[in-house]
Amino acid sequence: MAEKWVRMVTAQTPTNIAVIKYWGKRDETLILPVNDSISVTLDPSHLCTTTTVAVSPTFDQDRMWLNGKEISLSGGRFQSCLREIRARACDVEDKEKGIKIVKKDWDKLHVHMASYNNFPTAAGLASSAAGFACLVFALAKLMNAKEDNGELSAIARQGSGSACRSLFGGFVKWNMGKVEDGSDSRAVQVVDDKHWDDLVIIIAVVSSRQKETSSTTGMRETVETSLLLQHRAKEVVPKRIIKMEEAIKNRDFASFAQLTCADSNQFHAVCLDTSPPIFYMNDTSHRIISCIEKWNCCEGTPQVAYTFDAGPNAVLIAQNRKTAAQLLQKLLFFFPPNSDTDLNSYVIGDKSILKDAGIQEIKDVEALPPPPEIKDASRYKGDVSYFICTRPGRGPVLLSDESHALLNPETGLPK
Ligand code: DP6
C-alpha cells in the first residue's frame, strides 16, 4: 500500500448521570451489571466529549491522545472496544479522495484517535462515560459498521459500564441482560430530550483534596463484601426501575425526585456497607443534601432532586426554571465564591438561570438573604469550586465540519 490518504470522522457525545445507579458487576471483563440502571443525558453544549478517529495506510500502530496527551492503549477495555468494532467493519469507498477499503483490510489498518472533554476531567464528572461512548460511535462511523446505537451501546459498555447510556439522549435505561455473552446488556432510550424539557440541572463541583476510590475498584469491593448490595440488586432496584420509568413517562416530578434521592442515598449506604467502607460524599455534599431536604419538606412537595456519584459533587435536578433560580440563590447563599473568583467563572453553562435568579455581580451574592427554612445561616465560602447549569440533552452526533476535527487531515496527528 503506497497510498497517502487519511480518512477521518469526528463525533460528539454527551455525558450522563444515573438516577437509578449502576453499582456492581456480575462479570468484570464483559462489564455486566448486577442491576438495571436509568440515567439522564446532559446537554452536550455544557458537558461532552469530542473525538476524531482517523485511518491511513501510513499509520504503523493504533494511537490515542486524550486532551492533547498521548495515552496507552494497552488496557483491556480499549482493546475490547477496538476488537469489537473492527469485527463489524465494512467496505468503505470515497471516490473523491481515491479511498477504497475492503472489509478484510481493517484487520491490517491502524487508527489514530484524539479525544477532548469540554469540562475538566479531574472534576469527576463521568468523563469515561462520554469518552468510551464517543470512541465507539466515531469508530463505528469510520469503519462503516452497520450496527444501531443500541448495538453500539453493548460495545461501549465494555469500555466503561456507564458509557453504554451515553449513546442516547433524554432518559436512558441500561438493561442488565441475562445471556452470558452480554449481548442483551445494552441501553435503550426511555424518552427523548424533548419529552421533559422543563427540567434544569445544576451541578455543584465540590472542592476536594482527597483522591477517591475509582468506581471500578469500589464496586468490586462492594460486590465482594456487602450483603446490602445483594438485597438492593434483587429486591429494591427492580421495583424502583418500574416506578422510575413511569415517573419519567408521566413527568411526575414528585415521584421522580423521591426515587432519585432514595437511590442515591442507597448507593452511598451500600458503599458504607463495603469492607473497608467507602466514603464518596464529604461535609459539603451532606450540607447540600440537608439544604434540599429541608426545602422540599417545607414546601410539602419536592422542588429539587439530588444525586451523587462516586465523588462529592452534587447533581441537582429542578422541576423548572423557576425552582432552578430559587435553588441557585440558596446554593450561592451557602456557598459563595472566594473573593478572588469572578462570578462568570463560578457559575458556568446556561448562565440565563443566574439572570433569572436576579444575580449579576458578586455584591448580589453577598446580599442574598438566608433561606427561611434553615436555622443555621452559616456560609461556606470556597467549599464549592464552581456550578454548572445545564439540562437534559441529545445523544451522539457526527460533526461533519472539518474545523471541529482534532487530528490534522494530512498527517493524522493532533492539530
Ligand atoms: C456511581 O461506569 O465508571 O457513576 O464500569 O467500572 O467503568 P466501570 O464503572 P463506571 O461506574 C459508574 C458508577 C456510578 C453510577 C452510574 O453511573 O450508574
Q: Is the pLDDT of residue 125 over 90?
A: no
Q: Provide, rounded to the nearest whole percent, the portion of the chain with pLDDT above 90.
A: 91
Q: Is the dihedral of CA 127, 129, 130, 132 positive or negative?
A: positive
Cβ burial, residue 121 (10 Å; 0-12/13-18/19+): middle
Among the atoms of ligand 1, which is closest to the Cα of residue 21? Answer: 18
CATH of region 7-193, choose from 3.30.465.10, 3.30.230.10, 1.10.150.120, 1.10.1740.10: 3.30.230.10
For the cut 70, the answer to whether the pLDDT of residue 131 exceeds it is yes
| Mean pLDDT computed over 204-215 | 84
The ipTM value here is 0.99
* Band of pLDDT at residue 310, cut at 50, 70 and 90: very high
Residue extents of the structural domains in the chain = 7-193, 200-390
* Per-residue pLDDT reduced to its tens digit, 88-124: 999 999 998 889 999 999 999 999 999 999 887 666 6
In this structure, the residue with its CA closest to atom 11 of ligand 1 is 215
Q: What is the pTM of this model?
A: 0.97
Cβ-Cβ contacts under 8 Å for 10 (sequence gap 6 or more): 50, 51, 52, 53, 138, 398, 399, 402, 404, 405, 406
Mean pLDDT confidence for 193-213? 90
Q: Are strands 304-307 and 314-318 parallel, antiparallel or unpaired?
A: antiparallel
Q: What's the fold here for domain 200-390? A: Alpha-Beta Plaits (3.30.70)
Pick the range with the lowest mean pLDDT from 73-82, 123-132, 301-310, 400-409.
123-132
Atom of ligand 1 nearest to the CA of 37: 18
Q: How confident is the model at residue 273 (pLDDT cuts 50, 70, 90)?
A: very high
Residue 168 has pLDDT above 80, yes or no: yes
Distances (CA, A) of 151 to 29, 140, 157, 214, 269: 18, 11, 10, 27, 33
pLDDT at 2: 56
pLDDT at 4: 86
| 323-362 per-position pLDDT tens digit | 999 999 999 999 999 988 899 999 999 999 999 999 999 9
Q: How distant is the alpha carbon of residue 390 from its chain centre?
A: 13
pLDDT at 211 exceeding the cut of 80: no
Atom of ligand 1 nearest to the CA of 267: 1
- The answer, yes or no, to whether any atom of ligand 1 lies below 6 A from the CB of 161, is yes
- Position 375 scores a pLDDT of 86
Q: Check residue 126 and give its pLDDT.
A: 65
Residue reference for cell 445494552: 186
30 lines ligand 1 (CB under 6 A): no
Q: How far is the CA of 266 from the centre of ligand 1 (A)?
A: 15
Angle at 355 between CA 203 and CA 15, to 5 degrees: 25
